[in-house]
């Protein structure tokens, strides 16, 4: 009798230990791909970096050297366009949603933002292609930036709304009680106290779209030359990586590894900056 | 100029800006749906039901059957989900139950965050140069035609990409399980494994499901990493090692060179299908997770 009890107990304890081992094993296993990817990027990427890499455009096939200046400038321009289109709108919508919790327009807008967040990036590219590329008859930086803006919008709306929700209503009531007009209360009291959350959201949304390729395929398209024109096709880092990675030339692969390294470093930097800002600026209530 | 306006006008302008921008967002999304719908109307009309059942996608003869693409999409995303599940659940339990703080937990949490930050094109690039040769070697030892690229490779990359999405929400939900029901189970003499299996997982079930659903939606619509390693062959994949194609990857490959109006329209129809399915998955996932957060 005691023997069987001891046996079941031992069995249960063994099962518990095995389970713990399995969990640890799988958790460790999931770190492996990250180490492999970052390791490859470091080894292959850093070796292809030099000053030429940052300040020259790609050379014609057969010539060594050349860099990714066009893609760097292009990515920055696309992000700037997306930022200008998405952030002010996202801020206003976020304020509206935080101020109006329950009315039909707010529900509609909230639902739209939620759906927009889940739209596959390639579909955004497809729609922006019909909106901006077909009527203007040319691939353009504007279309690419608008596609990225559409991807940024949900993140910046949600972060604004969620941050402003957390701000205690007493703050707003105090301002209103002093006779401050409503719009000044929002712009001078509520928004500044939630600024760290809003900025974090903006940085995260920039990090999210900086690496997007699919919406740029038929909007910004790509351009082997240095261009900063809004209505011309433009190169971007992710597109350059895609184009060069799938090409058969070793020299282009080298550029793609270098560009991947720069892109991942940039995205991680934005993520870390967002994290640092939340810690540093957080206003405690 | 602004200072000349009366307070009432300024107040009105501000309110107008806020509500108009909310209206604008709702309008943009409706336009988004409408555009795709209008674009795909000719294809809806001419392809008819063959779109869902036909397996031949041939722009030259004007035959647009998307079944093989649907099949390829489901195969890669479900495969990715099955591969991710043990990893993501382990991470969730590791971070939510076994080690909430400490060095190991912070390292794992950082690694999951970094994994989520890597752009999909970099995943594709890495897979093309690291995973594809590995799979090719595997195929040679198994005696199959060594493509290297194919459904399995795509599912593997997707599995790595969606780990963070499935893991982070599940970890949060597991953390939310009330401490007293855990302690009640322990006091009855349950081992940790039994507590997790009988108490924590059932309690956190809906939240974990939501995380998995969101990860599935992500895998379903992913384009770049898949298009680089799947082989882009518009046919029914015969096995997991065979090449194939997915809906998102087909649009990425063919839209730029599509000239025939019906061709473009059929691609838009695929886009519409993608949009509808991912919107449904996303809304379902969010409504589950929202219900859960209200309960606790």
pLDDT category at B294 given cuts 50, 70, 90 is: very low
Report the chain A residue with the minimal C-alpha distance to residue B231. A246
| Strand partners of residue B58 | B63
pLDDT at res. B41? 93
CB A79 within 8 Å of CB A206: yes
Q: What is the pLDDT of residues B254-264, one digit of tens each?
A: 988 888 889 99
Would you say residue B182 has pLDDT above 80?
Answer: yes
Say what the pLDDT of residue B286 is: 81
pLDDT the model gives residue B282: 87
pLDDT of residue B202: 92
Q: Which of A22, A111, A260 comes nearest B125 by C-beta? A: A260
User: Tokens 């040319």 identify what position?
Assistant: A138
pLDDT at residue B84 is higher than 90 = yes
Chain A residues near residue B117 by CB distance under 8 angstroms? 207, 264, 267-268, 271
- B29 min Cα distance to partner chain A (Å): 6
Q: How confident is the model at residue B102 (pLDDT cuts 50, 70, 90)?
A: confident
| Per-residue pLDDT, A66 | 78
SS3 for B136-188 is HHHHHHHCCCCCCCCHHHHHHHHHHHHHHHHHHHHHHHHHCCCHHHHHHHHHC
ipTM metric = 0.91
Nearest residue in A to B119, CA atom: A211
Output the pTM of the full model: 0.92
Minimal Cβ distance to A120: which of B192, B221, B228: B221
Distance (Å) of CA A47 to CA A82, A255, B88: 32, 10, 34
DSSP state of A58: B
Contact flag B23-A121 (C-beta cutoff 8 Å): no
Residues of chain A with C-beta less than 8 angstroms from the C-beta of B286: 114
Q: Which residues does chain A have with pLDDT short of 50?
A: none
A217 — phi, psi (to 5°)?
-55, -45
Rg (CA), chain A: 25
Taking CB atoms and an 8 Å limit, are A242 and B228 in contact across chains?
yes
B296 pLDDT above the threshold of 90: no
B2: pLDDT confidence band, cut at 50, 70 and 90?
Answer: low
- Chain B hits for A271, Cβ within 8 Å: 113, 117
Residue B139 predicted with pLDDT over 70:
yes
Query: What pLDDT does residue B295 have?
Result: 45
Residue B108 has pLDDT above 60, yes or no: yes
For residue B91, pLDDT over 90 is answered with yes
Q: What is the dihedral of CA B291, B293, B295, B296, to 10 degrees?
A: 170
- Among B224, B248, B269, B285, the strongest candidate for a mutation testing the A interface, having the largest count of A CBs within 10 A, is B224
């Amino acid at each position: 009798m005691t023997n069987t009890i001891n046996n079941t107990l031992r069995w249960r304890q063994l099962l518990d230990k095995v389970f713990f081992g399995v969990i640890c094993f799988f958790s460790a296993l999931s770190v492996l791909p990250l180490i492999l990817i970052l390791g490859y990027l470091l080894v292959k990427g850093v070796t292809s970096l030099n000053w030429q890499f940052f300040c020259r455009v790609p050379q014609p096939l057969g010539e060594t050297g050349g860099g990714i200046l066009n893609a760097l400038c292009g990515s920055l321009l696309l992000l700037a366009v997306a930022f200008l289109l998405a952030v002010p709108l996202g801020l206003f919508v976020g304020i509206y949603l935080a101020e109006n919790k329950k009315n039909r327009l707010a529900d509609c807008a909230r639902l739209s933002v939620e759906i927009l967040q889940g739209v596959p990036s390639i579909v955004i590219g497809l729609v922006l292609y019909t909106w901006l590329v077909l009527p203007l008859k040319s691939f353009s930086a504007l279309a690419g930036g608008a596609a990225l803006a559409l991807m940024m919008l949900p993140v910046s709306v949600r972060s604004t709304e969620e941050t402003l929700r957390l701000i205690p209503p007493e703050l707003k009531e105090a301002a209103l009680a002093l006779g401050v007009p409503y719009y000044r209360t929002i712009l001078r009291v509520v928004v500044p106290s939630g600024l760290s959350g809003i900025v974090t959201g903006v940085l995260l949304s920039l990090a999210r779209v900086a690496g997007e390729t699919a919406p740029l395929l038929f909007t910004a398209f790509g351009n082997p030359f240095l261009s900063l024109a809004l209505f011309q096709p433009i190169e971007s880092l992710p597109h350059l990586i895609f184009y060069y990675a799938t090409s058969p030339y070793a020299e282009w692969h080298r550029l793609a590894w270098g560009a991947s390294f720069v892109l991942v470093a940039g995205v991680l930097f934005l993520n870390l900056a967002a994290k640092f800002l939340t810690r540093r600026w957080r206003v405690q209530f | 100029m602004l200072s000349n306006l009366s307070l009432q006008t300024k107040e009105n302008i501000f309110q107008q800006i806020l509500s108009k921008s909310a209206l604008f967002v709702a309008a943009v999304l409706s336009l988004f749906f409408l555009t795709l719908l209008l674009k795909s109307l000719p294809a809806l009309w001419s392809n008819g039901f063959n779109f869902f059942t036909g397996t031949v996608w041939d722009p030259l003869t004007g035959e647009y059957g998307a079944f093989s693409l649907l099949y390829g999409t489901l195969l890669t995303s479900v495969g990715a989900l099955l591969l991710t599940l043990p990893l993501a659940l382990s991470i969730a339990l590791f971070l939510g139950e076994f080690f909430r703080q400490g060095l190991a937990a912070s390292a794992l949490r950082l690694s999951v965050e970094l994994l989520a930050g890597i752009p999909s094109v970099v995943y594709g690039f890495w897979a093309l140069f690291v995973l594809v040769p590995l799979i090719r070697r595997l195929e040679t030892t198994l005696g199959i035609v060594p493509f290297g690229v194919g459904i399995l490779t795509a599912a593997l990359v997707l599995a790595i990409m969606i780990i963070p999405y499935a893991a982070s929400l599940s970890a949060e939900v597991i953390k939310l399980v009330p401490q007293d029901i855990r302690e009640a189970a322990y006091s009855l003499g349950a081992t940790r494994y039994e507590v997790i299996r009988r108490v924590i997982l059932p309690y956190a079930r809906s939240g974990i499901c939501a995380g998995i659903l969101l990860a599935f939606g992500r895998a379903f619509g992913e384009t770049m990493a898949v298009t680089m390693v799947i082989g882009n062959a518009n046919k029914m994949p015969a096995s997991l090692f065979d090449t194939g194609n997915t809906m998102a990857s087909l649009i990425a490959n063919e839209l730029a060179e599509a000239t025939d109006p019906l061709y473009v329209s059929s691609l838009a129809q695929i886009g519409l299908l993608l949009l509808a399915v991912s919107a449904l998955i996303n809304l379902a996932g969010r409504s589950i997770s929202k219900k859960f957060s209200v309960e606790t």
